[in-house]
Amino acid sequence: MGFFVKKILLRKSLIIFFTVNICFGKKGLRCYDSKMEIEIQLFFHVVVKRRNNSSEIHRLRIPNEVIEDHKLIEDHILDFYKNLYAESISNVPDTSNMEDFISSYIPKLVSSKENMMLIKCPNFLEIKTIVFNLNGNIAPGPDGFGGVFYHSCWDILGQMFTMLFNNF
């Protein structure tokens, strides 16, 4: 019997299997036909095995020959990718001095002076200016507090914000 004939027969068996299961429950089903359960399990094992076999490379054709040995196929594929990426790695300049290496690929867009300005901690007046520039009528943020809260409680929160940003 061919695979597709067995597939059709097993589909019919599954319909009977589920009909009996619904009518009699699992207890009645086991009494009905345990051979059918074994056939269904075998069917699904065959399907899974075929699916797993289809994801492998069984034959590889290279210019003058066909390779069927799994070890030789693996070695050929490994060599192919080693050679492919080894050529591109050989063109990379010397990386002994990483700062020069990085600067050759990433341009400097920020000067040292600008960088110092960007990384310095904000002072009390800068934080206060930012907080008071918040619109008082905006909807609350994820913390549940709107701009009015920060304006009205600045005397309490100001020092805490400054310490928070300076310790960050």
What is the tens place of the pLDDT at every residue in 67-93? 888 888 888 888 888 887 775 555 656
Same domain flag for 161 and 136: yes
* Number of domains present in the structure of the chain: 3
Give pLDDT, residue 46. Answer: 75
**Residue 161 located in a structural domain:** yes
Which residues face 62 on adjacent strands?
Answer: 65
Examine the domain organization and report whether 44 and 8 are in the same domain: yes
Give the Cα separation of 90 and 72 in Å (integer): 27
Region label for 144, one of left (φ > 0), alpha (ψ between -120 and 50) or beta (otherwise): left
What's the chain's length in residues?
Answer: 168
pLDDT value of residue 30: 47
Given this model, what pLDDT does residue 9 score?
A: 61
Q: Is residue 103 part of a domain?
A: no
Instruction: Provide the domain limits for residue 65.
Output: 60-90
Confidence of residue 143 (pLDDT cuts 50, 70, 90): confident
- Is there a single domain that holds both residue 67 and residue 42? no
Same-domain pairing of 22 and 46: yes
**pLDDT tens per residue across span 8-64:** 666 666 666 555 555 445 544 444 456 666 777 777 777 777 767 667 777 888 888
Contact 10, 40 (CB under 8 A): yes
More confident residue, 29 or 153: 153
